[in-house]
Chains A and B, each alone.
Chain A
């Protein structure tokens, strides 16, 4: 394990009551400041991996370290308040306003009202939403706006680390791309460490510093986006087929137009 590891997953297995292994001897290190994408199909164990990191679940074997400390020794509630989490289905609280949703973790940490209000305004600015959104309820927002609020909520208490569980999956392609790029900019600007779960290799290629491919509970490929291009594993090749086709087609179109 390197010194600058923000999150270190070492030989972690997770078995459920029926003996089925969701994760089998997985090791993965996320260095400080990195944006790592874990790509895999449904049922590959990627959400389980994310849940082990903020202790929504505990591993059957192996260790998870956060900032060098064994997560098993940390208080789960304190740990979760120190890590931003963006949920797959957004997970905004429908009975709370946007401002209350964003300020939830600060509120749990006991911030005073003025500080929370200032932080909400700051975060709405960061995720490029008008201040007037603070008083609205989640059901009054579009899908993209909701996920911007989801990102703002994850960042509210100023965490170093953010976990994202298929954050943009439910959005239309345009919104998804814009939000992805916006998040990547935030990640760099705030110096965050991000672990993002996705089933979409195109998204991973476009945003991540490093990609890990998870299949049936094991990491079958890991490396920089460029390393995925000629990877030997059949599943990785399969995953790369779609981006490759698109790239070729777009390249052709662009070439034709330039001529």
Chain B
């Protein structure tokens, strides 16, 4: 086994601890909400129907979307709370993850509690009232104990769901076992992907079995068995949590969007801060919709974005200006609107581009997107999940009158091999991507300048704007990385090197 396994193992205490922390908090909150609601709904058919429908609807929302939705919601609540109550809290990471996962856990608990209690033999309930129990006593002494196996089955389902879905809390900034999966998918590190999946599955099975043992102990009325299982559960949770709580908290947080280049640059910034004597952690894999807000709110302290992304998504500009003008407009806008400091461009662009296999381009005589337009109706194009809904695509399409035979969405990592193998004709590529050369692709010219420039720019949160030590540690990166260097770095990362290892290589290569 290569170094990737050792690397994965080294991250386990952090990822597992955070994963357990967020899962346990979410499950505890979910149970605390579900039980009273389910009990209140027992004698109220309308509330019962509403509750079951509501929790079912939550369940149909994909986990990733549910988690992502909680971030803007909490951001608004946080802003309100800060303005009105003077209380500020982080809307990123832990809180939205716990809330979303808690909601997610409610359906099985509510449903099983209600059906479990309603399913108790009517004769037992009759007898309970007949021997002189109050409604509350009948519930506590007869109905709940008899419904316990069904209720516990619901709790176990909820626990397994929460532990599994918690892997999706990585994009909203909560460290979890999902960090392995997201990072692994982006850097084609299948060891990481498998490691994350297996770790989450093992954790889920273990917790499920321990809960099952508690339930069996309860049914068999063996206090010893229940205590043993409960102790096992507690030890598992503590063992998972201990390394996390013992780790020194605080320090600066560097954000990264979910792709390889971002991981490398975040690791590089982390190295530079540490070299400057500043403790720094990372929030890897933040969604692009979340990360700028997180920076403005101070949930992360710095990250690298691209001028064209902000130009299009934040300034809502569809026109294309020269590189320097876009950079200046973006810098001014970020400062004025969000208080964000732009330290400067790193020296390379990671622009959108259209690329195709070199032989195919030669055969068709395609050198630029203008040439491509003539052949487009017989060709297929693949883009990542964002690409076709981005203004850049619209700009390219309209500028050249592109109309392809087929548009396909795929994971960015799979696009390059697909183009290399001729499964698709054209792909949306990134100019700094190491795989352009690796798979024998060629980037098509953009003679009408439809694609805006995408300078990699180093952004700093408003609350670090006057932190000289922090700025001094990062400032030397400005203008230090040219596109060939970044391409080489990306190529190394996509062929198995960890982002940290590539960051060290990059650190030495660019000097200080």
Contacts and interface: CB of A to CB of B under 8 A. Distances in A.
B455 to A, nearest CB: 70
A89 B132 CA distance: 17
Nearest to B122: A89
Contact of B132 (A94, A95, A105): A105
Contacts of A93: 124, 127-128, 141-142, 146
Nearest to B129: A56
6 contacts: A87-B123, A87-B126, A92-B127, A93-B128, A93-B142, A104-B131
B124 A80 contact: no
Contact of A153 (B129, B131, B141): B131
A147 interface: no
A95 B146 contact: yes
B142 to A, nearest CB: 6
Given A80-B131, A85-B127, 9 more contacts: A89-B123, A91-B124, A91-B127, A93-B124, A93-B128, A94-B124, A94-B146, A105-B131, A108-B132
Given A77-B134, A108-B137, A91 B123 contact: yes
A105 B141 CA distance: 12
A44 interface: no
A85 B131 contact: yes
A45 B39 CA distance: 33
Interface of A: 54, 56, 77-78, 80-81, 85, 87, 89, 91-95, 104-105, 108, 153
Nearest to A95: B145
Contacts of A92: 127
B130 A87 contact: yes
B116 to A, nearest CB: 13
A51 to B, nearest CB: 9
B130 A81 contact: no
A123 B146 CA distance: 26
B278 interface: no
B133 A54 contact: no
Interface in B124-169: 124, 126-134, 137, 141-142, 145-146
A201 B167 CA distance: 70
Interface in B82-121: none
A98 B425 CA distance: 78
Contacts of A108: 131-133, 137
A43 B124 CA distance: 22
DSSP majority for the A interface?
A: mixed
Nearest to B132: A81
A95 B146 CA distance: 7
Nearest to A91: B127
A162 to B, nearest CB: 12
Given A91-B123, A94-B124, A85 B130 contact: yes
A54 B129 CA distance: 10
Contacts of A54: 130
- The 4 A-B pairs of least Cβ separation, nearest first, read A91-B127, A81-B132, A80-B132, A85-B130
A71 to B, nearest CB: 14
Nearest to B146: A95
Nearest to B135: A77
A95 B128 CA distance: 13
A175 B393 CA distance: 87
Contacts of B145: 95
A105 B131 CA distance: 6
Contacts of B124: 91, 93-94
Nearest to B128: A93
Nearest to A55: B129
Contacts of A87: 123, 126-127, 130
A94 to B, nearest CB: 7
A80 B128 contact: no
A85 B123 CA distance: 13
Nearest to A150: B127
A150 B128 CA distance: 13
Nearest to A85: B130
Nearest to B125: A91
Given A95-B145, A95-B146, A108-B137, A80 B130 contact: yes
Interface in B14-46: none
Nearest to A78: B132
Contact of B130 (A91, A94, A95): A91
